Amino acid sequence: MIHYAGARHSRSTAAFCLLILINIPIDCCHGPRVHGTDIDVKAAAVLHNLPASAQPDAREMSAAKVDLGRSLFYDRILSLDYSLSCGSCHRQQMAFSDGNTVSRGVDNEVGYRNAPTIINASVMQSLAWDGGSVTLEQQILKAIVNPVELNLDTLQLVRRLRDHGRYAEGFRAAFAEKSAISAANAASAIASFVRTISSANSPFDRYKRGDSAALSPAARHGQALFFSARTNCVACHSGFNFSDDQFHNTGLFFRYEDRGRFYVSEDYKDEAKFKTPTLRNIAHTAPYMHNGSKASLDEVLAHYNSGGVYHRNKDSLIKPLNLSPAEISDLKEFLLALSDDEVLHNPNYADPNKQ
């Protein structure tokens, strides 16, 4: 066991492993098994009802790495002025978003984008609104050094981690290397923790698994609308995580301040296009859009129903929908049924120092 975050932390890790063990009989003969201290991601996935396609890569995961990553995720020594941690902008009770239009970093520096949820990030093919990071590790290092986020350079990071004696053992346990404390290993551990943050137990999931009472008649009507050619929502919000992992312009503005995907591709056809966000846990992640410009789901739905404003890159699927107020209300019921409240209270995702 690792002690850098205190005995309480170790207890919760033990509880997580135990939950996994309890779950094994569900798929006893060809499935999950626990190997030493390795987290059995398949077992964890069964526990969270994740489909096979959404399971994190087992090679990235071990209990020691996840434990270390979780402590780092909530540690403010990762920010220049010790004021913020990852958990300040990705707050569990807000489904790992922060409730602000755009985030504020150290020194209250105003960022330029809305903090998206990080739930199910392990299935995202690219990260950030412009897909500028291909791996979680990359996104995490960027958050650490970004002047409007944690604003700490990697040398300072390593110095601080070395100075905090409590991390020496955690890094040694997670990485079988002599000088295990490095920025890359810190990012790798945090990424392992983030990969465990998953959610697939919303009323919609329960309905799909056969619990016909999980969705109200209104939500079921909204579901039919969502998946219909009339709204085309599912053309972009597709698959397990309700995202096609592609970039689109949805006609929010005539002039965008943020050039979105263009920053990555430098192709004018990508100007003002943004990654399709997941719709899971959307009840808890207001305000919406890359810049938080829509305060509520009502505003989002009013936007789609109107077809948005002209933009030369606007997707042809974004056009007036002529939905009635009752249809909009049902569509909203469906969106609300994509939220999984377990994820807000799962003790394995919480700040280990506050339990």
Q: In the complex, which residues of this chain contact ligand HEC (CB under 6 A)?
A: 73, 78, 84, 86, 88-90, 103, 105, 111, 113, 115-116, 118, 121, 124, 127-129, 136, 139-140, 143-144, 149-150, 190, 194, 231-233, 235-237, 248, 250, 252, 274, 276-277, 279, 282, 285, 288-290, 300, 304, 315, 317-318, 331
Q: How far is the CB of 79 from ligand HEC (least distance, A)?
A: 7
Nearest to ligand HEC of 32, 87 (CB atom): 87
Q: How far is the CB of 128 from ligand HEC (least distance, A)?
A: 3
Q: How far is the CB of 192 from ligand HEC (least distance, A)?
A: 11
CA gyration radius for the chain?
A: 21
Nearest to ligand HEC of 179, 306 (CB atom): 306
Q: How far is the CB of 153 from ligand HEC (least distance, A)?
A: 14
Q: Measure the CA angle with vertex 100, ends 111 and 97; round to 5°.
A: 95
Q: How far is the CB of 303 from ligand HEC (least distance, A)?
A: 9
Bridge partners of 53, per DSSP, are none
DSSP letter assigned to residue 56: P
Q: How far is the CB of 171 from ligand HEC (least distance, A)?
A: 16
Q: How far is the CB of 262 from ligand HEC (least distance, A)?
A: 13
| Helix/strand/coil for 13 | helix
Nearest to ligand HEC of 62, 276 (CB atom): 276
Q: How far is the CB of 331 from ligand HEC (least distance, A)?
A: 6
Q: Quick one: tokens of 296?
A: 């509520």
Q: Which value, to the nearest 10 degrees, does the dihedral of the CA atoms of residues 284, 290, 295, 296 take? A: -50
Nearest to ligand HEC of 23, 151 (CB atom): 151
Nearest to ligand HEC of 55, 285 (CB atom): 285
Contact 74, 101 (CB under 8 A): no
Supply φ then ψ for residue 238, to 5 degrees: -115, 165
Helical packing angle, 183-196 and 154-163, nearest 10°: 80
Scanning the structure block, which residue is given the tokens 């003790």? 347
Nearest to ligand HEC of 48, 273 (CB atom): 273
CA nearest neighbour of 160 among 182, 137, 139: 182
Q: Is 266 left (phi over 0), alpha (psi -120 to 50) or beta?
A: left
Nearest to ligand HEC of 56, 105 (CB atom): 105
Complete DSSP assignment for 229-242: TTT-HHHHS-TTTT
Helices (H), 92-250: 136-145, 154-163, 166-174, 183-196, 203-208, 217-226, 233-236
Nearest to ligand HEC of 233, 337 (CB atom): 233
